[in-house]
Amino acid sequence: MTNSSPSSASLVVTTIHILLFFSTCLLVCNAAYPTQHYPLPRHHHPRSASHNYRDALTKSIIFFEGQRSGKLPPNQRITWRRDSGLSDGSALQVDLVGGYYDAGDNVKFGLPMAFTTTMLSWSVIEFGGLMNGELQNAKEAIRWATDYLLKATAQPDTIYVQVGDANKDHACWERPEDMDTPRSVFKVDRNNPGTEVAAETAAALAAAALVFRRSDPTYSNILLKRAISVFAFADKYRGSYSNGLRPFVCPFYCSFSGYQDELLWGAAWLHKATKNPTYLQYIQLNGQTLGADETDNTFGWDNKHVGARILLSKAFLVQKVHSLHDYKGHADNYICSLIPGTPFSQAQYTPGGLLFKMSDSNMQYVTSTSFLLVTYAKYLTQAHTVVNCAGTVVTPKRLRSIAKKQVDYLLGDNPLKMSYMVGYGDEYPMRIHHRGSSLPSVAAHPAKIQCSSGFSVMNSQSPNPNILMGAIVGGPDEQDHFPDQRSDYEQSEPATYINAPLVGSLAYLAHSFGQL
């Protein structure tokens, strides 16, 4: 049978000639018109990113799933974890199942959990619109906490602020799934007040109400109503929870800064969430007595003054609430304290360039400061203004640059070339101070691991068998040294309140470098 079509060999030759013609044409066209006919993609940014901030963002949120207490959902991504703490609250006939373990142990501490929730919510409020696919994951991380906080505040003028006896818990090195230490329950109420933990819980509920306002208005209203009543309780029955619960909350999450900062912070969040003038009046009347001009520039689970200043400065800068003018000045003073070379500079940096404030879990200071820098830069940009540090003009761009350097250090741009986020980069901590991560998983070792038998693992040099993806550890010392020792909780322990502020900063950086 004859075939009138060209042979396959001649087709190949013809195709090659056509390809050569077009490739030559493309080279000539590109030389003559290098960009004219090939515009840059809409999200292209000419600067090159030092890191894959998108990947870091994803991992920073996954981490929270590794800290979950309670009945785990079918879509749990850290699969070496199992259900735990399913009878929490039963000692007092209340349901306190759920929530987060704060760090590497198996206790649920209310003060850091509430602060974590506030900061995760603030991250979404400011930068959730840039998160794309990660927004839903961030919301689920928040809801895991707020579902628990709603349980903890279900009774009027009462908040369950801790589950687990920390001293007895720390006497064991065991998986949360194996816990046999007392799940003691501790609360604050009218007779034993806890203003700082109550006001922080109110802040968390109010901030989360803003997160869910559009996507789940019913849930948002529940959160906001509860925030209002919890704040009223915090304000009416004043006293530090560190007094009544000292043997149980100290030295772990003792409140060293007092409760005035939380009252100001809680009122600021309720003002933002409700727009009710009562909270603005409260801030105006009580701002000074609550330490609005406090000069301590450490922002974290204990001291909220700086965060309140930044948050309230937005109401002045963007919403033009002129009665809050002073907060712009307070916020500027904080910024000036961070800028090297200004007359007000107080910040200490390691030789490698990391902000250094504390020997125990310094990275919490780095992540919270970085978040405040990118957030204040956003407010300044919206208001078309800058910070003036005694004649030195500090632009929003400068603030973002400082924040980026801190995040880049955390992700590996440091003398050790070590990423301080587990699972990110080529080198990261392998022996983190975390019970569940360091002991074999239930899948690998179904038999119960007894209380003290886990210490042989804790004291060993073997890498953790379970990767706690996205966990950020306490970080290096003031000389940029990091031994990666499991027993060194000051440097090797992760915590929810280290990760929470970083979520917002990573979302901003991923977007600004076209990764989202």
Q: How far is CA 262 from CA 258, 394, 497, in A?
A: 8, 29, 16
Q: Is 493 a catalytic residue?
A: yes
Cβ–Cβ < 8 Å for 423, 430: no
Judge whether 257 and 291 are in contact, CB under 8 Å: no
Cis ω for the linkage preceding 176 (within 30 of 0) = no
Q: Provide the token pair at 302.
A: 């204990």
Q: How many CA atoms lie within 13 A of 383 on its CB side?
A: 21
β-pair partners for 394: 387
335 closest CA partner among 301, 291, 371, 376:
376
- For the chain, the residue count is 516
Is residue 387 classed as helix, strand or coil in its secondary structure? Answer: strand
CB of 255 closer than 8 Å to CB of 302 = yes
Q: Is 83 a catalytic residue?
A: no
Catalytic residue among 65, 196, 261, 493: 493
Alpha-carbon distance 126 to 506, whole Å?
A: 12
Q: Which residues pair with 356 in a beta bridge?
A: 348
- Does residue 17 carry a catalytic annotation? no
Q: Which of 102, 196, 200, 484 is catalytic?
A: 484
Instruction: Give dist(CA 209, CA 130) in Å, integer.
Output: 19
CA distances from 410 to 377, 427, 455 (A): 20, 12, 29
Catalytic residue among 433, 434, 480, 511: 433
Facing residues of 108 across strands?
163
The residue assigned the tokens 């689920």 is 140
Active-site positions read 433, 484, 493
